[in-house]
Amino acid sequence: MPVITEIEDLKRIYRRRVPKMFYDYTESGSWTEQTFRENSSDFDRIYLRQRVAVDMAGRNTTTQMIGQDVSMPVALAPVGLTGMQHYDGEIMAARAAEKFGVPYTLSTMSICSIEDVAANTSKPFWMQVYTLKDDEFMQRLFDRAKEAKCSAAVITVDLQLLGQRHKDVKNGLSAPPKLTAKSVANMMTKVQWGLGMLSTKRRFFGNIVGHAKGVSDPTSLTTWTNQAFDQSLDWDRIREFRKMWDGPLIIKGIMDPRDALEALNVGADAIIVSNHGGRQLDGALSSIRALPAILDAVGDKIEVHIDSGIRSGQDVLKALAMGAKGTYIGRAYVYGLGAMGQQGVTRALEVIHKELDFSMALCGRRDVKDVDRDILMIPEGFAGRWA
């Protein structure tokens, strides 16, 4: 087994083992990719304050996210097409998260279905849903999540329109993927990946096919996908979704304090400060820059989480010190999944946990719940002084 000391090690293996179209799907943002880049680089602008001669023994990273116990405040974010990064990818990622003691969030646009993941895990996971027009499909999706004993729903509110990701267009990456001679030739060079895909029956959007009205093949899926997303979405519509789901609710895609307050008003239990990993509105602030103003707006009235750009345990520590109560990793665990399957996801979590634990200690904190802004050095004007 290769020596893995950082997430970047997993990324290098992932790039070699997974077809280019799926690597590019993960490793891309919309338009110029400014926001995609700054999601990570803005974390580098925040410095940690080292303390010495403090008791570092008996450290603790356990806490809660929306009232649920977690071994560290990190959840696996919803990522579409995970089952194309590695065979049965959603199942493997969910198993790794379960064993590590962190939440796993299943995407609506997953390859493995809600039922597949539930049948192969023993603890509740979270279910992500999009804001779609079809009430019947939406209600059934929430009902299926309840039947699978999902312990939270995550509503993604920033995908009324799909931001253009140039690499996906050039590679024919859509729902379903449009295979070209070039992409097929590349897939044929990824022998381990191909053998894995041949070994599973799960290769086709398990939450959609057979559940959405009229969707039975790739052609009908393309038609459905093009028509399903609700461009007329407003907060009244989100209130309707809230009525469909009576469990813990997280709203993902909040980047403005006014929208944070709206999410509070519709009865969400938590919000995720997120720009969709830089895959929607290019030129938007990074999530970590947007976080302070949102925290100022909502205070402790709602739990505030963050995703986009987190690649290390130090990034997690910085987000927590800024005031977030939970963080999400997407690309970081997908690198591990594509590199080594379930073992790779576990290794990604181990790397992030060790970095969080050691960095927290060297900043003079023994308990993750005691982390605060005092451990940070934040550049003046970092949160924005905009004309």
Can you read off the two tokens belonging to residue 48? 């940690």
Can you read off the two tokens belonging to residue 109? 């646009």
- Taking CA atoms, 277 is separated from 6, 38, 308, 338, in Å, by 20, 10, 4, 18
Q: Is 276 a residue of the active site?
A: yes
According to DSSP, the β-strands at 105-106 and 152-156 are unpaired
CB 78 within 8 A of CB 128: yes
Catalytic residue selected from 86, 276, 305, 353: 276
Report residue 96: phi and psi, to 5°: -65, -45
DSSP 80-131: TTHHHHSTTHHHHHHHHHHHHT--BEE-TT-SS-HHHHHHT-SS--EEEEE-
Angle CA(69)–CA(75)–CA(76) in degrees, nearest 5?
A: 140
Sign of the torsion formed by the C-alpha atoms of 184, 186, 187 and 191: positive
Amino acid type, 384: G
Secondary structure (3-state) at 349? helix
> Which residues touch 285 (CB under 8 Å, ≥6 apart)?
35, 38, 255, 275, 384
What are the catalytic residues? Answer: 276
